Structure formats: C-alpha cells, structure tokens
C-alpha cells in the first residue's frame, strides 16, 4: 500500500505542477533554478487570459457555450445510440447478430485518423461541415463504447426481460424501462471515457468549421498556447481544459460505486 501511495503521488505530480503553474506570478515562472511549487500564488495569469479573450474574434463565452452544447449533445446521443444497439445484440436472437458484433469487435482495431481524406469527403458531401452536427454525428458509432455496453448487458439475466414480456411490455418498453436503468453503470463508464475527447476537441473545428462563432473552446485554447511570455497563461488554459474531465470522472466514479452497491441483481 505504501508502494501504491508513492506511485500514485508520482502519477499525480505533473497535475500538481499544472495547478502550481497556473497560480505562479511571472517572476516565479522564470526563476533560476526553477521551483516546483508556488510561493506567492496570484491570479495574474487568469487576468491575463481574460485580457486575451477580450480581444478574441468571438466572445469567450461563445466558445464556452459551443463546447458545452456539443459535449452535452454528443454524450447524450452517444449513450442513446449505444444503449439502443447493445440491447438486441445481447438479448435478442436475430439473423446477422453474430456478424454485426464481430464487426464491432474487429473495428476496435481500426485507426480512425488513417482514412482522414475519405472521411472528409463523406462529411462534406453530407453537408455536415459548418454545423454543430459535425462534432456530434461522426463520433457516435463508437465501437469501444458499444463493446463495453454489450459485455455489461450480457451479465444482466434474461429472466428480467422475459418477465417483462409476460407482463405485456413492448420491445421499446423493455428497452426504455428495463435495459436503460440497468445499464446505468455502463452509461457512466462511457461518459467518463468519451468526455475528455469531446471537451478538448479542436481538430474538428480546424478541419470542418470556417465560421468562427461555431468553433470550440479546445480550438480557441490551442490558438493561445505557446510563446515563452505566456507560459503562465498556458498553464491556466491547460487547467481549464483538464479539470472538467477530472471532476466528471470523480462524480461518475462515485455514481458507478453507488449503483453497484444498490443494483442487487448480481
């Protein structure tokens, strides 16, 4: 346990550094020899960031709004599409089911970015570029998420669904009333896994969006960074981009534990 604690601290060290950098005054950032911890924490870097954002093309709040909107929209649709697909793949017997799941398993080995140009052509032909949808739709068929969901669903006993059928529930009701609540753990898991990717999204903004007011926070932050004079500001932006992921993880993780304790079907 001592070993585990030490290793955990080492693992967290760069994050601690990140927090320290964000609160360091300029004279401490460029001190020699460099210091790890902050002596006189200030909010100067935050003020500097707000000055920079005041001069941006589009108000900072617009970038933030965009990112919140696409993150919520994406995660909601992701959970919806994947829970819906995993229920029949796990609990129904229909022709082609095995093949479909094998394709999903196989596609865990796809490299998404390897086929960038064909994907670009498909997306532009569908007219998704320059809309919020381009952030959401192409990433919804996430085979990792479906794979996890389906494995989780396999552990749910079939009897629950048979009982539901006897009570006269339709397939939709079985999905909505029984499968969905039972999949809470798995939902939390895929939200954790996919949150960081969409929250930090900047590549899609560069490739598919030409209207500045539709671009994401991740894109805006990536344009600020760099330059020795802005090291402290870079620390602040890094902090802003990283911490929501960690907070979501903490919240969802406790929810996972909680639902596991109360589920009582295993």
Residue 151 interacts with other proteins (CB under 8 A): yes or no: yes
Who's near 93: CB < 8 A, 6+ residues apart? none
CA atoms within 13 A on the CB side of 41: 12
- Write down the residue that tokens 């192409």 correspond to: 138
**Of residues 237-256, which lie at the interface with other proteins (CB under 8 A)?**
237-239, 241-242, 245-246, 249-250, 253-254
Smallest gap from residue 49 Cβ to other proteins (A): 13
**188 binds other proteins per the rule CB under 8 A:** no
Does residue number 181 form part of the binding site for other proteins (CB under 8 A)?
no
Q: Interacting stretch for other proteins, rule CB under 8 A, among 37-45, 48-56, 57-65, 90-98?
A: 90-98
In order of 150, 159, 178, 241, the CA distances from 172 in angstroms are 17, 17, 10, 38
**CA-wise closest residue to 188 among 261, 256, 264:** 256
Query: Smallest gap, in angstroms, from Cβ of residue 152 to other proteins?
Result: 9
Counting contacts by CB under 8 A, is residue 112 touching other proteins?
A: yes
Tokens representing 264? Answer: 């009582």
Indicate whether 122 belongs to the interface with other proteins (CB under 8 A).
Answer: yes
The residue assigned the tokens 């090291």 is: 231
Give yes or no for residue 119 binding other proteins (CB under 8 A): yes
Binder among 100, 133, 169, 180 for other proteins (CB under 8 A)? 100
Binding flag, residue 218, other proteins (CB under 8 A): yes
If one asks whether residue 95 binds other proteins (CB under 8 A), the answer comes out as yes
Pick the piece of the chain touching other proteins (CB under 8 A) from 38-46, 51-59, 66-74, 188-196: 188-196
CA 266/CA 259 separation, integer angstroms: 12
> Which of 75, 182, 192, 198 is close enough to bind other proteins by CB under 8 A?
192
Half-sphere exposure of residue 182: CA atoms within 13 angstroms, side-chain side: 24
Q: Does 147 bind other proteins (CB under 8 A)?
A: yes
Interaction of residue 34 with other proteins, rule CB under 8 A: yes
Assigned token pair, 42: 């200030």
| Alpha carbons 212 and 63: distance in angstroms, whole number | 9
Are 216 and 66 contacting, i.e. CB atoms less than 8 angstroms apart? yes
Give yes or no for residue 124 binding other proteins (CB under 8 A): no
Stretch that binds other proteins, among 48-56, 59-67, 68-76, 100-108 (CB under 8 A): 100-108
User: What is the dihedral angle through the alpha carbons of 213, 219, 221, 222, rounded to the nearest 10 degrees?
Assistant: -140
**By CB under 8 A, residue 164 contacts other proteins:** no
Nearer to other proteins, 148 or 182 (CB): 148
């Amino acid at each position: 346990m001592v070993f585990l604690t030490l290793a955990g601290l080492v693992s967290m060290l760069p994050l601690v550094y990140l927090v320290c950098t964000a609160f360091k005054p300029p004279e401490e950032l460029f001190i020699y020899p460099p210091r790890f911890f902050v002596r006189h924490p200030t909010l100067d870097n935050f003020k500097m960031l707000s000055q920079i954002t005041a001069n941006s093309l589009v108000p900072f709040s617009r970038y933030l709004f965009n990112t919140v909107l696409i993150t919520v929209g994406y995660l909601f649709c992701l959970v919806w599409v994947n829970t819906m697909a995993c229920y029949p793949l796990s609990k129904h017997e229909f022709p082609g089911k095995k093949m479909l799941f094998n394709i999903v398993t196989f596609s865990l080995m796809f490299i998404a970015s390897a086929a960038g140009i064909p994907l670009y052509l498909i997306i532009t032909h569908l007219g998704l570029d320059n809309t919020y949808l381009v952030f959401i739709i192409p990433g919804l068929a996430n085979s990792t998420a479906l794979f996890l969901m389906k494995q989780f669903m396999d552990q749910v006993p079939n009897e629950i669904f048979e009982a539901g059928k006897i009570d006269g529930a339709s397939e939709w009701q079985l999905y909505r009333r029984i499968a969905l609540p039972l999949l809470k753990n798995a939902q939390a898991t895929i939200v954790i896994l996919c949150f960081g990717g969409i929250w930090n999204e900047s590549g899609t903004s560069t490739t598919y969006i030409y209207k500045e007011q539709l671009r994401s926070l991740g894109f805006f932050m990536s344009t600020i960074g760099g330059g020795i004079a802005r090291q402290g500001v870079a620390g602040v932006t890094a902090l802003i981009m990283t911490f929501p992921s960690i907070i979501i993880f903490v919240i969802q993780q406790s929810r996972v534990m909680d639902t596991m304790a109360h589920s009582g079907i295993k």
